[in-house]
A and B are shown apart, each in its own frame.
Chain A
Amino acid sequence: MSPPHFDIHDIFDFYQRISNARVLMTFKGAFSQELLVQIGELVKLQQGNNSKVQKMFAVFVEMAQNILHYSAEKEICSDGKEVGVGMIIIRENEKSFAITSANAIEKEKAEEIERYCSQLIAMTPEELKAFHQKKRLEEPPKGSKGAGLGLIEMIRKSDEKAEFLITQLDERRSFFILNIIIHKSL
C-alpha cells in the first residue's frame, strides 16, 4: 500500500530531483545519538577522510545533535527515549559541498533564532572568533542541553556566508533551515 499522494511515479521524480541536485547523502527522520554516529561514519566512508570531510563531519554532528535536542517534532525511539526529527542533506557542485539541516522549531523560539543567526552571519571571521571565545566562557543559555555554541561553530566553519530560512510550519511551530558551504579546495 502506498502512502497518499506518493506513488511509483513520484519515486521516479524524486530520484531525478535528488540526482539533479547532486545529493550525496540525505536522511530524514529521528536523529538518535546512535543513528547520527552511524550516519557520520557513513559520510566519512563515502567521502574519504581528509580535512574537508572532517570539517563537514563536524558540521554534520552539530546539526544532527541540534535536531536531536531541539527539534519541535519528536519521536519515541525503540529504546523509549524521545528524540528530535529533522533532515540533513549534503549536496555538491564542482567547487563545494553544501550541508543543510531542516527541522521544526517552537514558534516562540523563531524570532530569537532569526535574530541570532542574522547577527552571527553579519560578523567577520575575527568577530566570530571573539564571540565564540566570549560565549564559551559564559554559562550555557537557559534551555541549552549543550554549550549553546553549535550555531556559532557552524557559521564559523562555513567558507561562504551561511544562509538560513525560517518559515511558518503550523499553528504552534516554525521551520528552520540552515545551509553551510564548505569549499573543496584549500
Chain B
Amino acid sequence: MKNLVIAGTKTTPSVMFDAETGKLEISGQSYPESALEFYQPIMDWLNEYFKLRQQASLSFRLQYFNTSSSKCILNILRVFEKAYSEGKKVEVNWYHNEADEQMQETGEEFAEHLTLPFKVISYK
C-alpha cells in the first residue's frame, strides 16, 4: 500500500500518512471551497488502510479549520472509532498551541463522542 502525502496550502492541510509505520499526520489550516472533495481521497485511503492493517496513530496539528472541514474531521475520527471497536490498536493525538484555547476545546468536543484513546496535547 502506498503512502498518502499531500502538500499543504493556505487553505488545505498537509497530509502525511505512512502505510508502513502507521503514523498519520494532518497539519496546517483547512478551509477549502469544498471540504468534502478535499477529504474524500483521505477517507478512501483510510478505509483501504484498515482493511490491511491493525494499528495506527493519527496526529492532528491544526491552526484553523472551517465548519465543513470539521464535519470531515469527524468522519475521519469515526473511521478510527470503528477500527477501535473492531479491536484494532489505534490512537488519536490532538495537538494545539498552548495559547489556543479554542483549538483545545474543539479537540475536547471531538473526544466527548469517542471511546478510542484520544489525547489533547498542548505545545509551546
Contacts of B77-112 to chain A: CB distance below 8 A: 99-102, 109, 112
Q: A51-B102, A54-B102, A61-B31 are in contact. Are A33 and B67 (CB under 8 A)?
A: no
Number of residue pairs spanning A and B whose beta carbons lie under 8 angstroms apart: 58
Residues of chain B within 8 A of A133, CB atoms compared: 109, 112-113
The 8 Å CB contact of A51, one of B32, B70, B101, is: B101
* Contact call A58/B74, Cβ cutoff below 8 A: no
A134 to B64, CA, bound (A): 21
> Interface range on chain B: under 10, 10 to 19, 20 to 34, or 35 or more?
20 to 34
The 8 Å CB contact of A140, one of B66, B71, B100, is: B71
Q: A65-B33, A146-B35, A147-B71 are in contact. Are A54 and B113 (CB under 8 A)?
A: no
Residues of B within 8 A of A (CB): 10-11, 31-36, 64, 66-68, 70-71, 74, 99-102, 109, 112-113
A sample of 12 inter-chain contacts (CB < 8 A) reads A51-B101, A51-B102, A54-B64, A57-B64, A58-B66, A62-B66, A133-B109, A146-B35, A147-B35, A147-B71, A149-B71, A150-B68
Residues of A within 8 A of B (CB): 33, 37, 41, 51, 54-55, 57-58, 61-62, 65, 68, 129, 133, 136-137, 140, 145-147, 149-150, 152-153
